[in-house]
A and B are shown apart, each in its own frame.
Chain A
Amino acid sequence: MKRVGVFLCWCGSNIAGTVDVGRVAEKVRLLPGVVYVEENKYTCSEPGQASIMKAIKEHDLERVVVASCSPRLHEPTFRRTLEAAGMNPYHLEMANIREHCSWVHTDREEATAKAFDIVRMAVAKALRNEALQPGRISIEKKALVLGGGIAGIQAALDIADAGHQVILVEREPTIGGRMAQLDKTFPTLDCSSCILTPKMVDCAKHPNITLYTYSELEKVEGYIGNFNVTIRKKARGVDEALCTGCGLCQTKCPVKVDSEFDVGVGKRKAIYTPFPQAVPNKPVIDKENCRYHKTGKCRICERVCEAKAIRFDQEDTIIEEKVGAIVVATGFDLFDLETYGEYGYGLYPDVISSLQFERLINASGPTEGKIRRPSDQEVPRSVAFVLCVGSRDDQKGVSYCSRACCMYSVKHATQYREKVKDGRAFVFYMDIRTPGKAYEEFYRRSSVDYGVEYIRGRPSKIYQKGKKLVVRAEDTLLGRPVEVEVDMVVLAPAMVPKHDAAKMAQTLGVSYDGYGFLNEAHPKLRPVETNTAGIYLAGACQGPKDIPDTVAQAGAAAAKVAALFSQDELTTEPMVARVDEALCSGCLWCKPVCPYKAIEAKTITERVAGRTVTREVASVNVGLCQGCGACTVACRDGAMNLAGFTNDQVLAEVDDLLADLRPACGV
């Protein structure tokens, strides 16, 4: 039996004032395994700890029980004490006789009896404590950033500046994301492209960043520090090394289709770059619309290209990379506005979305910044901005608030009033949410200085009347219905996760909520980590947010990655699950209950009765296991056990506690 030393703390009078510590000491002395008992006034103090260290040496102690406050307070402290004395720190058990005893009970007899019970359970557990070593796993100091919007760009730059290699994968032909589609940003109204493009260029030029655009993540295997990722670089149809970005091919291409970047209010060619400041500034051939790919005729771009860079038969390339961390920054889509049939989106050409309005108002957009009605290209003399389309709607939309729409609608209304001096801007709102710095002031200015008219009420119907659109709503502040005739309506759709967010989450092995937003590890304290170690979140893929919050989150994710990469090896939690392979039947019912996907099947070979057999057993990745123990309960024959809280230990605590109980009926 292991030699246990028990150190009872008075904690001044916090414990000793209620618990008869000496009495407890007397009884503890009689417990099996206990070879040394000591009382201290303040065990956590320097002299107290020194006393423990001295006793360990002088009495050859193999296990230590400290009966004092909650282990949640001082377990790390006393573990360090044991380590300093040359003992494995996991040979410590604590008995909580303060928070759970002396502080909450008043009867001295009862408190003393309970304190003894608590200590005896700790002794029973300590006798079965094993020496635990933290695991170590290697770390590949290269990060993968998924998504080249402002979140991905910022995260990539921060990680690269910290001295680590970054691979930035973007599905579109260019990085820039949503911010590249915007005209001006609230509340300062600075030009979005002007602040974004320098960062885009930095990304392209940074020696530590490798850019894969027009590329998608296909597969992720492995775990923190050791991810194996497979990236599909789609065929652009253009040799990037030769292309000079002159743009002649785009000018000459005879095919015009709706531009995705312009959200349908502008056109592009079949060979195109989404916008002039694209990074990389190399075009892409849209195979579905390219005349040559469809009919075998044309090839004008090939003829005019002086660099001879056109490659119609280019194939996708598969790239395999090993990375240590992944930052997910895949952004958002907008709520499908056709759900609100009563608003006429898709039916009336002058009912547009806020993103389409951004493209109209953008100086480098399809109308060169002039606000024009899609139907007749006239300047609208009145515009209605409708908020919360899709958001805050339990019936037809999503329940949450989309966070950024109030501000950008205020911005749109302000910009409209700037450009069309005699125009009227109406904002139909439920609430105006302006939580950020200078946001409220911006909103005030829109009303006071720019004369934007705010109507508190959710429109019930929008319909065409001649050349006008009628917005019918209730003005809830006045308490009466209103009908407003306008030339154009701009709807603010809820920000929703990307259409394939769930599939991406499954590829990565991260969890997502009912809406499809990726789950952070803890809603308050761990906003950029996920429950999958080594995978971090930044930006709107985690939840709707504006640019300042996105950039902050991207920096936070980068800091987490930098912290991870600051070590050569990752020390992992020692109180992890482990498999007794001799017992394990390979049923793998443990696997589905693990929140961290830390359990896999493993094939082992054994010699049994003169022959070699192979069979499958469960295997725990100690780098991923966080020690919850759910697998140990799924395991029926106890092959799976949890270090620090083994089946043996818990049963010993129960058995020892109740050992002296006489059945009350006197049998």
Chain B
Amino acid sequence: MQPRKSGGFENMAESASRPEEARPAETRPAEEPGAGWEPVIVGFLCNWCSYAGADSAGTARMVHPPNVRVIRVPCSGRVNPRFILRAFQRGADGVLVSGCHPGDCHYSTGNYYARRRLVLLKRYLEYLGIDPRRFRTHWVSASEGQKFADIVREMTAEIKALGPGPKAKLGELV
């Protein structure tokens, strides 16, 4: 079954200038660090505050680096520490977890439990030998688009300087 495109936009200038040759299937960071290597940062954002904060950065067109890939969760309390290590294990260079400010959780207490877990996890990951600058936790409210953009900018720059994440030193998964 061949997928179809709806018509109506073939006259757009962009479509005329599309290059014909196929690009490689993955547009991943280059294999050698330093040769324009870009870190991949997985971000767990809570739906009610931080995801909305990232949205408001978008609405206000606050430009920031494209290195964060957002995974939406209902609450920062939904973020299982296993997810975070899974991201590092599979090759993430950085992980960001962001939720509502304590006291403002949409579900009233989710972020308090998240806070305990995350504070403990931060120390533990550093103890395991993962650079603490790779795992950042923040509280970003729905109106703090600027804060979100700043976090992304800072984190990307810092991790870019640190180089590839812990998976590089651990070897292959299988």
Could you tell me which A residues sit within 8 Å of B by CB distance?
10, 16, 20, 22-23, 25-27, 29-30, 35-41, 51, 59, 70-72, 96, 98-101, 103-107, 109-114, 116-118, 121, 511, 519, 521, 531, 575, 593, 595-596, 626-630, 632-634, 642, 644-645, 647, 650-651, 653-655, 657-667
In the bound complex, residues from chain A placing their C-beta under 8 Å from that of B37 are 664
Which one, B10-18, B122-130, B131-139, is touching chain A?
B10-18
- Min C-beta distance of A184 to chain B, whole Å: 39
Instruction: Report the nearest A residue to B15, measured CB to CB.
Output: A22
Would A632 and B80 be within 8 Å (CB), given that A106-B63, A660-B26 are in contact? yes
Given contacts A35-B1, A630-B113, A660-B26, contact A107 B66 (CB under 8 A): yes
In whole angstroms, what is the CA distance A604 to B30 when docked? 55
The CA-CA distance from A514 to B38 in the complex, in Å, is 48
Contacts A642-B78, A645-B73; A664 near B51 (Cβ below 8 A) = no
The contact of A630 among B12, B42, B75, by CB within 8 Å, is B75
B108 smallest CB distance to A (angstroms): 5
A36 with B1: CB separation less than 8 A: yes
Q: Are A664 and B78 in contact (CB under 8 A)?
A: no
Contact of B78 among A519, A531, A632, A660 (CB under 8 A): A632
Q: Which residues of B contact A27 (CB under 8 A)?
A: 25
The smallest C-beta distance from A20 to any residue of chain B, in angstroms, reads 7
Task: Determine whether the beta carbon of A38 is less than 8 Å from that of B71.
Answer: no
Interface residues of B (CB under 8 A from A): 1, 3-6, 8-9, 12, 14-15, 18, 22-23, 25-29, 31-33, 37-38, 40, 42, 47, 51-52, 54-55, 57-59, 61-66, 69-75, 77-81, 83, 86-87, 90-92, 106-110, 113, 117, 149, 163-164, 167-169, 171-172
Contacting residues, chain A, for B22 (C-beta < 8 A)? 26
How far is it, in angstroms, between the C-alpha of A173 and the C-alpha of B12 when the chains are bound?
79
Bound together, the chains give a CA A575 to CA B169 distance in angstroms of 39
Residues of B within 8 A of A659 (CB): 90
Contacts of A118 in B (CB 8 A): 69-70
> Which chain A residues lie closer than 8 Å to B4 at the CB level?
36, 38
Separation of A593 and B4 alpha carbons in the complex (Å): 48
Q: A662-B28, A663-B168 are in contact. Are A511 and B108 (CB under 8 A)?
A: yes
CB pair B70–A658 under 8 Å, yes or no, is no
9 additional A-B pairs beyond A41-B9, A630-B77, A650-B80, beta carbons within 8 Å, are A36-B4, A41-B8, A70-B55, A107-B66, A628-B77, A630-B75, A650-B71, A658-B87, A660-B28
* A41, B11: Cα distance in complex, Å: 12
- A-chain residues with CB within 8 Å of residue B51 when the two chains form the complex: 70, 72
Residues in chain A near residue B52, CB distance under 8 A: 72
Q: Tell me which residues across on chain B come within 8 A of A35, comparing CB atoms.
A: 1, 3
Chain A contacts for B58, CB-based, 8 A? 70, 98-101, 103-104
Q: Which of B15, B69, B172 contacts A667 (CB 8 A)?
A: B172
Inter-chain residue pair count (beta carbon < 8 A): 201
Known: A99-B59, A100-B58, A654-B86. A630 touches B1 (CB 8 A): no
Docked-complex contact A117 and B78, CB < 8 angstroms: no
Taking the nearest CB of chain B, how far is it from the CB of A176, in angstroms?
34
A38-B6 contact, Cβ under 8 Å, with A657-B42, A666-B32: yes
A653 to B43 Cα, complex, angstroms: 11
A630–B109 contact, CB under 8 A? Answer: yes
Across the interface, name the chain B residue whose C-beta is closest to A29.
B3
Known interface pairs A96-B70, A663-B167, A666-B31. Does A651 touch B83 (Cβ–Cβ under 8 Å)? yes
Known: A35-B1, A595-B109. A665 touches B168 (CB 8 A): yes
List the A side residues contacting B61 at CB < 8 Å: 103-104
Contact present for B14 and A16 (CB under 8 Å): yes
CB pair A110 B66 closer than 8 Å:
yes
Q: Which residue of B lies closest to A28 (CB)?
A: B3
Q: In the assembly, what is the distance between CA of A460 and CA of B171, in Å?
A: 73
User: B91 touches which one: A116, A595, A663 (CB < 8 A)?
Assistant: A663
A contact residues around B8 at 8 Å (CB) = 41
- Chain A proximity of B152: nearest CB distance (Å): 9
Whether B63 pairs with A105 at a CB distance below 8 angstroms is yes
A117 contacts across to B, CB distance below 8 A: 69
Cα–Cα, bound, A650→B52 (Å): 19
Give A327 to B51 CA distance when docked, in angstroms.
Answer: 34
Contact B74 A642 (CB under 8 A): yes
The answer to whether A100 touches B54, judged by C-beta atoms less than 8 angstroms apart, is yes
Q: Are A39 and B6 neighbours in the complex by a CB distance under 8 Å? A: yes
Please measure, in the bound complex, the distance between the C-alpha atom of A660 and the C-alpha atom of B28, giving whole angstroms: 7
Known: A627-B74, A642-B74. A121 touches B69 (CB 8 A): yes
Q: Given A633-B79, A663-B91, decide whether A39 and B9 contact each other with a Cβ distance below 8 A.
A: yes
Among A101, A630, A633, A654, point to the contact of B87 (Cβ < 8 A): A654
In this complex, the member of B55, B65, B149 whose beta carbon has the largest number of chain A beta carbons within 10 angstroms is: B55
**B6 lies within 8 A of A51 (CB):** yes
**B77 contacts which of A121, A629, A666 (Cβ < 8 Å)?**
A629
Q: Are A630 and B69 neighbours in the complex by a CB distance under 8 Å?
A: no
Among residues of B, the one whose C-beta sits closest to the C-beta of A653 is B71
Whether A101 and B109, one on each chain, are in contact in the complex, defined by CB atoms closer than 8 angstroms, is: no
Contact B110–A595 (Cβ < 8 Å): yes
B108 pairs with A650, CB closer than 8 A: no
